[in-house]
Structure 1
Amino acid sequence: MRIYECIVVEGKSDTAAVRNAVEADTIETNGSAVSEEALRRIELARERRGVIILTDPDVPGERIRRIVSRRVPGCKHAFLTKGKAFGSPGQSLGVEHASAETIREALRHVRSEKEHPEVTAAVTRQDLLELGLFAGSGSRDKRARLGEILNIGYANGKQFLKRLEMFQISQAEFTAAYEQLLEEEEKA
């Protein structure tokens, strides 16, 4: 599998894991202290080839994603779930520990940022509250699973709503994902 866009990762180990999974060029941020130089390289890559952000599904990884996304609008996003970002038992969480197939799967489900930020999302905060996704017992687990189904990653309630907007998740797409979640819960 060849990826044309440059993939933004956190470090050298992530680059090795990505290159083990796909043929692609990477840009390393060298951790959560994203340098001005790295941001300039990402801007240039975005203009010339496009960019896919693939960071660890943890707090520092999400921080890097936000920094890059704010500075370089129009990036695409690939997400790993926490459950699939571990290699062997006892290893830490991260892209570098994900299997090649997990990385390929994340890259097959890349999401693009919303091109027209003035358009409001079809799913509202009230919808999330009514469905028990914003707060309350089990809301975190439900958001995590919906994030997997929709390929937008895990986020807290506020960030989950922002991602629904950013990736232009339609009411129909959201409803189908929520129904899948309910079916899974019934079977469990």
Structure 2
Amino acid sequence: MIKEIIVVEGKDDTVAIKRAVEAETIETGGSAINDEIIKRIKLAQQRRGVIVLTDPDHAGERIRKIITARVPGCKHAFITQEEATSRGDIGVENASPETIRKALSNLRTDYEAAESDITWEDLINAGMIVHPQAAARRMEMGRQLGIGYCNGKQFYNRCRMFRISREEFAVAWKQLEKKEG
């Protein structure tokens, strides 16, 4: 059984989690996350710890940001859009049990006022922003680093929030170059 409580968006996500692992969940009820749910997440974080696993889409990202801002120190699990898509629908409920287990084994923790030695210039030099293939590169790097896909500014913020080191970034970048080469 997973010690932490996993925060998901809805009932179908809970079903998918329970197919993959033995765990308890808190459902946000979608992107309209309210104060009562935040209070439950705060209590869960204090008592057992929290893992946030939301859909890899705009609404899921919005929920993740709200939780991160109001409940610091949560762990985060990410799945890619490709892993979460079935018949045009994106969601945790579409991910395979193996994908969910993999995401839960590659957790990242947010830190208030966290710092990373990754700079904006590093992202430009690596083609993560201001590059014709920037979105595809961020998607692959986000997968390798375990921080998910996001736009350039969010990618930079996640590198800082999850304290991605230059070494981690370099290893992922080399893997990306091999894949592209």
TM-score, with normalisation over the residues of structure 1?
Answer: 0.94
Within a 5 Å distance, the mapping from 1:27-66 to structure 2 comes to 27-66=26-65
For residues 87-108 of structure 1, what are the alpha-carbon distances to aligned partners after superposition, in whole Å with 9 as ceiling and x for unaligned?
4xx2511001111111111001
Question: 1:144 and 2:139 equivalent?
Answer: yes
For residues 36-88 of structure 1, what are the alpha-carbon distances to aligned partners after superposition, in whole Å with 9 as ceiling and x for unaligned?
1100000000000000000000000000000111010100000010110024x
1:91·1:97 contact (CA, 8 Å) conserved in 2?
no
1:21·1:103 contact (CA, 8 Å) conserved in 2?
yes
Question: 1:183 and 2:178 equivalent?
Answer: yes
CA–CA distance in structure 2, aligned partners of residues 62 and 56 of structure 1: 7
Deviating above 3 A after TM superposition, structure 1's stretches of 4 or more consecutive aligned residues are none
- For 2:169, the equivalent position in structure 1 comes to 174
For residues 93-124 of structure 1, what are the alpha-carbon distances to aligned partners after superposition, in whole Å with 9 as ceiling and x for unaligned?
10011111111110010111136x2x531110
Within a 5 Å distance, the mapping from 1:23-102 to structure 2 comes to 23-87=22-86, 90-102=87-99
- For 1:153, the equivalent position in structure 2 comes to 148
* Candidates 109, 112, 115, aligned match of 1:112: 109
1:22·1:104 contact (CA, 8 Å) conserved in 2?
yes
CA–CA distance in structure 2, aligned partners of residues 170 and 114 of structure 1: 14
CA–CA distance in structure 1, aligned partners of residues 99 and 126 of structure 2: 30
CA–CA distance in structure 1, aligned partners of residues 132 and 27 of structure 2: 38
Tell me how large the CA RMSD over aligned residues is.
1.0
1:8·1:28 contact (CA, 8 Å) conserved in 2?
yes
- Mean alpha-carbon deviation: is it higher for 3-12 or for 121-130? 121-130
2:72·2:111 contact (CA, 8 Å) conserved in 1?
no
- For 1:164, the equivalent position in structure 2 comes to 159
| Same amino acid, percent of matched pairs | 51
Q: Secondary structure at the match of 1:8?
A: strand
**Letter in structure 2 aligned against 1:29:** T
CA–CA distance in structure 2, aligned partners of residues 131 and 151 of structure 1: 17
Using the TM superposition, give the Cα deviation of residue 5 of structure 1 relative to its aligned residue in structure 2, in angstroms: 0.2
CA–CA distance in structure 2, aligned partners of residues 29 and 73 of structure 1: 17
TM-score, with normalisation over the residues of structure 2?
Answer: 0.97
CA–CA distance in structure 1, aligned partners of residues 62 and 109 of structure 2: 18
Unaligned runs of 5+ in 2: none
CA–CA distance in structure 1, aligned partners of residues 137 and 55 of structure 2: 20
**Letter in structure 2 aligned against 1:164:** C
Within a 5 Å distance, the mapping from 1:128-143 to structure 2 comes to 128-143=123-138
